Amino acid sequence: MIIVLLGPPGAGKGTQAKKIEGEFGLTHVATGDLLREAVRRETSLGKQAQDFMLRGRLVPDRIILDLIKNKIRGGASGFLLDGFPRNIIQAEELDELLEAENKKLDLVINLEVNHNEVIDRLNGRVICPECGKTYNVDHFVDEPLVCKDCGSRLSQRSDDNPDAIEERLKVYLRHTLPLIDYYKEKGILLSVSGERSPQEVFHRIVDLLQRVEDVH
């Protein structure tokens, strides 16, 4: 089974992707994580991507596609794509790549979160630099900002500053939102409210995926 997870920045895609990965045994392909790792390792692709990421702009398709191709061609049978595709051109490239590998996209899950909620979430988001787990500062009233899993000190992502947040939302509306119609026309789009608790959202997604598995 191959799934794409869509939604605006701060919709909870990363949180849900990890839950889905554990429940269904899919290989989680997160372009954001791939890019940040490439930047951290100072690879050629990472250096090219860094400037775009810091300004909240989309990384060029050629960089994203190089990273994605390596993952998809790794041999796993099931994938969960998180953060890709982000525009129609990437969606078409993904269709071509899957067809060349005798695979197909089974389902696109769109997490719906309103604009103000997204801004509130991103302004308060902190991340563990070691294990990648995300939190909101509201969860740490009178507590130190340390990861509850590994104990590392939490910090804000460099692209979660106010200017970059606004730019990322503009980019999402301009480039990524049209994907909803693209996949709706293909008959594989299902939308889920991302404004409920993470566990409630996950239960809804599990219900949808089990129905897809039953069909297959």
Question: Does the annotation mark 153 as catalytic?
Answer: no
Question: Does the annotation mark 73 as catalytic?
Answer: no
Catalytic: which of 13, 18, 19, 121? Answer: 13
Question: Does the annotation mark 86 as catalytic?
Answer: yes
Measured in whole angstroms, how far is the alpha carbon of residue 91 from the centre of its chain?
A: 15
How many of the other CB atoms lie within 10 Å of CB of 209?
21
Question: Does the annotation mark 168 as catalytic?
Answer: yes
C-alpha angle 17-164-168 in degrees, rounded to nearest 5: 50
Measured in whole angstroms, how far is the alpha carbon of residue 172 from the centre of its chain?
A: 12
Catalytic: which of 18, 19, 86, 121? Answer: 86
Ordered DSSP codes for the chain: -EEEEE--TTSSHHHHHHHHHHHH-PEEEEHHHHHHHHHHTT-HHHHHHHHHHHTTPPPPHHHHHHHHHHHHTTS-S-EEEES---SHHHHHHHHHHHHHTT----EEEEEE--HHHHHHHHHTEEE-TTT--EEEGGG-TTS--B-TTT-PBPB--TT-SHHHHHHHHHHIIIIITHHHHHHHHHT-EEEEESSS-HHHHHHHHHHHHHHHHHH-
Catalytic: which of 125, 153, 170, 186? Answer: 125
Question: Does the annotation mark 133 as catalytic?
Answer: no
Catalytic: which of 71, 157, 184, 204? Answer: 157
Return the active site residues.
13, 86, 125, 157, 168
